[in-house]
Structure 1
C-alpha cells in the first residue's frame, strides 16, 4: 500500500485500484520502444556499472518493461513473485544486495533463470499524488552494495521518467482538448451554417428545384448563400452568391445579405434594383470600417403559357449561370461586366433575359466549384464544368446536382473553397410540342 493511500485510509484493494487507475491514466502500457526511456535505462546501467537496467511499469498481473537494457528478448515478467512489484510498496529505493540469501527475491524468475540476477536496486516512479506506477531498476549477476550517490542518481532517473510521462500526458490531453474543440467548432459551424440557408426549398409550380451546399472546412462557417421564394404576382425570385471571408464575420455578412435581398425583392423585384439595394445596405452597414463585399446573381422566374419559364438574371461580379438545353448543349447565361457588391463607389450590374423550356435546366454555382483544381493541378474553370455537364447530359434539377456532386467528389482535395449550388429545371412532358412551335 502506498503512503498516500494509507493516509487516505484506503483498504489494500482500493489502494491498488487507485494505483492501477493512475497507470491507465498515462497510457504507457504496451507502447512502442522509445529513445527517451531507452536512454534512461542505459544511463542507469552505466551509473552502476551493471549489465542490466529497466524502466518497468507494474500492471495488474505483470511487470512490463518500457525500456530494457541488457535483457534481450524480455519485454515483461509475471508480477508475482516480483522484485518490481515489491519495490513499488516502498517510497525510497529498494535494494537486494544478494538475491541468493534474500527471501524477498529468492523465487524471482530473473534470479532463478539463466540470467542469475544477484543484485537488484530500484527507485519508484511516483506521481504527484503519490501513486507508484513502476520502477527504474538496475540488475547485476554479482552481489554488491550500492553507494548513496548511486541510489540518489537512481531516484533522479525515476523522477525523469515521471517528468517524461507527465509531458506526454499533457500532450495527450492537449490533443484530446483540441479534437474536442474542433468537434465543437464543427458542431457550431454546422448549426450556424444551417441558419444561413433556407431549411428547404419551396415547391414551385411547373419547375423542379434542388440545392446543395458543400463545405471545404467542417469547422469553419462559409459565406456562400442561396434562396428561392415567391413574389406576390405569381413570379418567383431566387439568388445565389458568395461573401468575402470566413467565420463569424462572414456569417454576419451572409445573414445581412440574404435578408436584404429578400426584402429588396418585395420592395422592387427588378434584379438590378435588388442588387443595387444590397450594395447600398452593405456600404451603410460597414461605413468607416473594412469594406465588406460579395458577389451575387439575382433572378426572377416568370411562367409562360407554353410551359416554359422566362428567366431574368442580374449579376454582380458572379460567375455566369449555365443553361443545359434540350439538344444537349450547355449555354452560359452571361452577366459578365457586373461588378462586386459593396466595394465600388458606383458599381454596375448587368442584366440579361433567357428562356428555360421543358426538358432544360439552369445551374447557378459559386466559384468554389470552378476554382477547384483537377488532378493535373489546373483550375477546373467554366470550360471544364461545361465539358462535364455536356458529357453527363442531366435533364432534371436532381440529375444536375448529382452530376455536379459527382464532379466535386472526383476533384477531392482539389476543392478548397465552399460551393453553393442551385438547380432549376422545367419538366419535359411538353418538350415535343414546344420544339414544334419554335
Structure 2
C-alpha cells in the first residue's frame, strides 16, 4: 500500500552541506594540537611551539564548533519554520549528550581540562541565534570579544578569589545547591573555558559558516582577516605592556611578592598562560594575551589566529586534498579522538605507564590519524559522532507525526 504522509510532516532537519576537506583538516589540527599540549612539555617541543598550541588549539576547536553549527543548519541559508524548530531540538539534544560525556571524562581522573561542558553550553546559547545573518553574527562576535572579558573582569573583581583554578564541570558539583551554583560559576565565569569569554569564538565560527566557506576566495579572505586580527590582538597587547607601562606595573606587583624576581616571574607567566581567566589585581593583567587568559587581547588575537589557520586549511584542502586525508579523517571524527585520548591518558596514569616523553608524544600524535583513516575507510562515521547524530536526529523528529500506512 502506498504510504500517505501527514501534511504536518516535514524533513526533520535542514539537509547538511557536503563535507569540506579544509574544515575537517582544521578540526583535525585543533584536536592534534590539544593532544600535543596534554602529552608534551614546553621543553620537548620548544617554548614557541607550546605557546602557539596551548589555548589556541582549543580556541580553533571552538571556532569550528560555530562553523559546524552553521554548516549543518543550512550554511548560507539559515533555517526557518519547522526546519528551524527541528534544528534547535537536534542541537539541544547534542548539547545535553556532550555535557554528560564531559562529566564522564572528567570523572576518569585524566589531567586534561575537558572542554566539552562549556562546548555544550555554547551550543545552547546558539539556539536563538540560528536565524541571524552572517553580518549580525559577525557584529555580535566583535562586541562580545571586548564586552565579554570586560564584564567577566568586572564581576570577578567583586567576588572572592577562587580556591582552585582551571576547573571544569564535575559530577560532585551536582550533589548540592551550593555545588550547582559553583558549577554555574565555573562554566560561565571562572573555569578553564568560561563561556562569557568563549562565546565570541562560537559566534565568529557561525558567522563564517553563514558567510559561505565555499566562496572562491574564502581561504584568502580568512587568512587576511585572521592575520589582521592576530596583529591587532597580540600586537596590541605587546604595545600596551611595553609602551604604556603595563609590564612595569606587573613587574612591580610581582616584585612585592618576591623581590628581584618580578621580571622573570612575569616572563614565565606570559609564556605558560593562565587557567581560563586572569587575576583582577592589578588591572594590568587585562593587557596580557597569554594562552587561556581570557582578555580582550587574547580573544581577538587568538581568534584571529584561528581564522587564519582555517583559511590556510581551506586553501590546502583545495590544493592537495589527498595528502591531507589522515588529518581530515581525524577531523571528521573529532569527538571520538578527543575522548579517546583522554581515556588513554587516564588508563596510562593509573598504570603508572605515562611519562611526558618524545615517545609518548609520537604515539599520541601518530596513532589517532592512522586510526581515524582506517575507521573512516572501513566503517564510516566515528562511534561517538554516530551516537551524537542519532540523539540529535531523534530529537529533531519529535513533534512530527508518524507516516500513515
Q: TM-score, normalised by structure 1?
A: 0.22
Higher strand share: 1
Greater RCO structure (CA 8 Å; 6+ sep): 2
> How high is the TM-score relative to the length of structure 2?
0.24
| Structure 1 or 2: more helix by fraction | 2
